[in-house]
């Protein structure tokens, strides 16, 4: 680093410090100016991600199911995101869960840390997660849908040792576990249905992905974004792409989720009452050999209102080797990615979310065959 860059870095640090003093926001949350959200700059409705009606699935209407498949395929190619309505999941379950979750997040932090995540165990409560090495303005609670998470013990090297982690449930409020489990069971069925539809939209059989998701590492996250004095300096979740299979998210009525459109513009998603927001993780970008996109998104926080959301991250078994699907390859479409060992990738990403490793977090793009500097044997 040359002297001029060092001086610029010191100036940035001084600026963050001044902002911290003025705004009452800890400098750990403050983003460099280029990454800060532009508040009030929300998009109009014609820019919205597609809203897809799933009703034909439940009434078994073959022609209209085919239309749904086509709509999903187009949304996956053009946006990597869509919303779904008529999904069949009772929203009362969400309302009940939200009430209990908010009660939990409003407990003293010392009590929440009794079920806290650690460097070793990725399940439970955290208020110190980093995205791109900056602290997110959020509190989270993670739990796995199968009750147990099986992942490689180490993310480096070739060891086949496996660690098992159990969910950590708080005693207070007492109904939280039950509400989480009911919600998770219902949304998982929906997510597996979406997996089948996405598979069809790639021209594959509906069951093509089933085997990968036996003994899955899927988990759910309760996201609580408390109101913030300086929403222009921080993000609830910094810009990122989800790295797993599929994300199926329910949000409350407070907007905040923004998606990066193909032209680079950030589009605020208007919550569509009762709709799920669905987006593809990086594994689908690999499986589809870049036909489908895993798109960057972020969460803006609010000066006046708390926000609550629950994503389900549908992720395969940790042993899954993820590579472009053979049926989609030919001489004109050679594979773009090296195979990825999902379990090792997941462990490595989690470590980066927890501590500043001083380098860019591991990304799916690091496995691009064209990225010749990457040593694949480190992580596959």
User: Binding mask 254-283 vs ligand AKG (x if CB under 6 A, - otherwise)?
Assistant: ---x--------------------------
- Residue nearer to Fe ion on the CB measure, 259 or 325: 259
Task: Tell me the H-state helices in 152-296.
Answer: 176-201, 282-287
How many other C-beta atoms lie within 10 A of the C-beta of residue 86? 14
Q: How far is CA 167 from CA 116, 170, 177, 262, in A?
A: 11, 10, 10, 38
Residue 201 binding ligand AKG, by CB under 6 A: no
Q: What six digits make up the tokens of 222? A: 């309760």
- Residue nearer to Fe ion on the CB measure, 312 or 322: 312
Partner from Fe ion, ligand AKG, none binding residue 289, C-beta < 5-8 Å depending on class: none
Spatial contact of 243 and 137, defined as CB atoms under 8 Å apart: no
Number of chain residues interacting with ligand AKG (CB under 6 A) = 11
Contacts with ligand AKG in 111-140 (CB under 6 A)? none
- CA-CA-CA-CA dihedral for 188, 189, 192, 198, to nearest 10: -110
| Interface pick for ligand AKG out of 242, 267, 281, 345 (rule CB under 6 A) | 242
CA 331 to the chain's CA centroid: 33
What phi and psi, each to the nearest 5 degrees, are found at residue 373?
Answer: -75, -15
CA 275 to the chain's CA centroid: 17
Contacts with Fe ion in 234-293 (CB under 5 A)? 242
Task: Tell me the H-state helices in the chain.
Answer: 3-23, 55-58, 62-78, 91-105, 109-112, 176-201, 282-287, 342-354
- Residue nearer to ligand AKG on the CB measure, 65 or 254: 254
Partner from Fe ion, ligand AKG, none binding residue 223, C-beta < 5-8 Å depending on class: ligand AKG
Q: Residue 313 pairs with which residues in a beta bridge? A: 219, 247
User: Binding mask 74-113 vs ligand AKG (x if CB under 6 A, - otherwise)?
Assistant: ----------------------------------------
Contacts with ligand AKG in 311-330 (CB under 6 A)? 311
Contacts with ligand AKG in 339-378 (CB under 6 A)? none
Least CB distance to Fe ion at residue 312 (A)? 11
How many other C-beta atoms lie within 10 A of the C-beta of residue 59? 9
Strands 307-314 and 219-225: antiparallel
Least CB distance to ligand AKG at residue 279 (A)? 8
- Residue nearer to ligand AKG on the CB measure, 167 or 289: 167
- What is d(CA 355, CA 343) in angstroms, rounded to the nearest whole number? 19
- Side-chain half-sphere exposure of 109, counting CA atoms within 13 A: 7
| Interface pick for ligand AKG out of 135, 188, 221, 348 (rule CB under 6 A) | 221
Least CB distance to ligand AKG at residue 90 (A)? 21
User: Residue 201 in 3-state DSSP?
Assistant: helix
Q: Which stretch binds ligand AKG (CB under 6 A): 161-169, 198-206, 249-257, 283-291?
A: 249-257
- What is d(CA 99, CA 93) in angstroms, rounded to the nearest whole number? 10
User: Binding mask 291-310 vs ligand AKG (x if CB under 6 A, - otherwise)?
Assistant: ------x-x---------x-
- Residue nearer to Fe ion on the CB measure, 97 or 246: 246
Partner from ligand AKG, Fe ion, none binding residue 257, C-beta < 5-8 Å depending on class: ligand AKG
| Interface pick for ligand AKG out of 191, 237, 267, 314 (rule CB under 6 A) | 237
Give the residues lining the site for ligand AKG (CB under 6 A): 221, 223, 237, 242, 249, 251, 257, 297, 299, 309, 311
């Amino acid at each position: 680093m040359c002297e001029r860059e060092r001086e610029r870095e010191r100036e940035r640090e001084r600026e963050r410090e001044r902002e911290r003093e003025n705004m009452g926001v800890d400098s750990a949350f403050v983003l460099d100016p280029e990454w800060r959200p532009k508040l009030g700059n929300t998009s109009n409705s014609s820019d919205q991600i597609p809203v897809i009606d799933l009703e034909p699935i439940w009434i078994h209407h073959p022609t209209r199911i085919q239309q749904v498949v086509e709509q999903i395929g187009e949304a996956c190619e053009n946006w990597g995101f869509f919303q779904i309505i008529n999904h069949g999941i009772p929203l009362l379950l969400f309302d009940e869960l939200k009430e209990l979750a908010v009660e939990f997040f409003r407990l003293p932090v010392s009590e929440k840390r009794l079920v806290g995540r650690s460097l070793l165990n990725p399940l439970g409560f955290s208020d110190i997660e980093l995205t791109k090495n900056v602290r997110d303005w959020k509190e989270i609670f993670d739990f796995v849908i199968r009750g147990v998470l099986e992942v490689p013990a180490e993310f480096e090297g070739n060891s086949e040792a496996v660690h098992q982690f159990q969910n950590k449930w708080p005693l207070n409020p007492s109904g939280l576990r039950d509400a989480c489990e009911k919600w998770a069971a219902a949304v998982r069925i929906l997510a597996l249905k979406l997996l089948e539809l996405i598979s069809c939209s790639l021209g594959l059989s509906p069951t093509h992905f089933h085997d990968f998701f036996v003994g899955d590492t899927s988990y759910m996250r309760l996201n609580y974004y408390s109101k913030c004095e300086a929403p222009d300096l921080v993000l609830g979740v910094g810009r990122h792409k989800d790295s797993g299979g599929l994300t199926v998210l329910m949000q409350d009525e407070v907007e905040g989720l923004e998606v990066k459109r193909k032209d680079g513009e950030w589009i605020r998603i208007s919550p569509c009452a009762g709709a799920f927001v669905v987006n593809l993780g990086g594994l689908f970008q690999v499986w589809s050999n870049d036909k489908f996109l895993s798109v960057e998104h972020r969460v803006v926080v609010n000066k006046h209102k708390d926000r609550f959301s629950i994503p389900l991250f549908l992720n395969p078994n940790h042993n899954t080797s993820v590579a472009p699907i053979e049926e989609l390859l030919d001489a004109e479409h050679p594979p773009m990615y090296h195979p990825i060992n999902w379990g090792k990738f997941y462990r490595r990403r989690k470590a980066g979310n927890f501590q500043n490793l001083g380098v860019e977090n591991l990304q799916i793009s690091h496995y691009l065959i064209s990225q010749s500097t990457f040593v694949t044997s480190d992580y596959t």
